[in-house]
A and B are shown apart, each in its own frame.
Chain A
Amino acid sequence: MEQSFEDILGSLSGIRKTAQELREILLANLVMVGEIPAPTFGENDRMEFVLNRFKEASITKNSVDEVGNGIGILEGKENSGNILVVAHADTVFNTKVDHTIQIQPESVTGAGVADNSLGLAVLSTLPTFLEKLDIELNHNLILMGATRSLGRGDLEGLRFFLSNFEQPIKAGVGIEGVELGRLSHTSIGMKRGEITCRVPEEYDWSRFGDASAILTLNEVINHINEIRLPQRPRTSIVMGSIEGGSSFNTTALKAKLQFEIRSESSRMVQDIHQSMEEIVTEVASQSGDTIHLDIFAQREPGGVSFSHPLIRHTRRIMDQLDIAPRPGPSTSELSAFIDQDIPAITLGLTHGDNVHETNESIEIKPIYTGIAQIIGTLLAIDGGYCEED
Chain B
Amino acid sequence: MEDIVKKIKNWIDDNTYHHSQFWDLKKLVEKKEKNGLTISLCLPTLNEEKTIGKEVIIFKSELVDRYPLLDEIAVIDSGSDDQTREIAANFGADVYLADDILPGLEKKKGKGENLWKAIHQLEGDIIVYVDADISNIHPRFVYGLVAPLIYREEVKYVKAFYDRPLAVSGSVRPSGGGRVTEILIRPLFSLYFPELTGIIQPLSGEYAVRREVLEMINFPIGYGVETSHLIDVYTKYGLDAFAQTDLDQRVHENKPTRALGKMAFGILQTFIKRAKALDIIQDISDFNTILRQTQAKDNVYEQVELEIIEEERPPMIEIEEYREKFNRSMD
Task: List A residues at the B interface (Cβ < 8 Å).
Answer: 24-25, 27-29, 31-32, 35, 56, 100-105
Contacts and interface: CB of A to CB of B under 8 A. Distances in A.
B54 A101 contact: yes
B86 A105 contact: yes
A35 B135 CA distance: 10
A104 B66 contact: no
A31 B65 contact: no
B65 A104 contact: no
Interface string B200-217: 000000000000000000
B138 A25 contact: no
A48 to B, nearest CB: 12
Contact of A28 (B61, B87, B90, B135): B61
B219 to A, nearest CB: 31
Given A24-B91, A31-B57, A32-B58, 20 more contacts: A24-B60, A24-B61, A24-B92, A28-B58, A28-B60, A28-B61, A28-B62, A31-B58, A35-B136, A100-B135, A100-B136, A102-B50, A102-B51, A102-B135, A103-B53, A103-B57, A103-B91, A104-B53, A104-B87, A105-B90
Pick from B57, B66, B92, B135 the residue with the most CB of A within 10 Å.
B57
Contact of B65 (A24, A102, A105): A24
A105 B53 contact: yes
29 contacts: A24-B57, A24-B61, A24-B91, A25-B61, A25-B65, A27-B57, A28-B58, A28-B60, A28-B61, A28-B62, A31-B54, A31-B57, A32-B138, A56-B66, A100-B135, A100-B136, A100-B251, A101-B54, A103-B53, A103-B57, A103-B91, A104-B49, A104-B53, A104-B87, A105-B53, A105-B86, A105-B87, A105-B90, A105-B91
Interface in B74-94: 83, 86-87, 90-92
Nearest to A101: B54
A133 to B, nearest CB: 16
A25 B66 contact: yes
A116 to B, nearest CB: 20
A158 to B, nearest CB: 29
Contacts of B57: 24, 27-28, 31, 103
Contacts of B53: 102-105
A126 to B, nearest CB: 15
Interface of B: 49-51, 53-54, 57-58, 60-62, 65-66, 83, 86-87, 90-92, 135-138, 251
A29 B58 CA distance: 8
A7 B184 CA distance: 69
Contacts of A25: 61, 65-66
A374 B324 CA distance: 54
A95 to B, nearest CB: 14
A102 B91 CA distance: 14
Contacts of A28: 57-58, 60-62
B125 to A, nearest CB: 25
Nearest to B135: A100
Most B CB contacts (10 A, CB to CB) among A25, A31, A32 go to: A31
> Which of A24, A25, A35 has the most chain B CB atoms closer than 10 A to its own CB?
A24
Contacts of B137: 31
B124 to A, nearest CB: 20
Contacts of A100: 135-136, 251
B61 A27 contact: yes
B110 to A, nearest CB: 27
Among A35, A103, A104, max chain B CB count under 10 A is at A103
A105 B88 CA distance: 9
The 3 closest A-B CB pairs, nearest first, are: A28-B61, A103-B53, A24-B61
A101 B86 CA distance: 19
Nearest to B64: A24
A105 B54 CA distance: 10
B134 to A, nearest CB: 10
B56 to A, nearest CB: 8
A25 to B, nearest CB: 5
Nearest to B58: A28
A102 B137 CA distance: 11
B23 to A, nearest CB: 10
Nearest to B63: A28
A102 B87 contact: no
A101 B57 CA distance: 12
Name the residue among B61, B83, B251 with the largest chain A CB count within 10 angstroms: B61
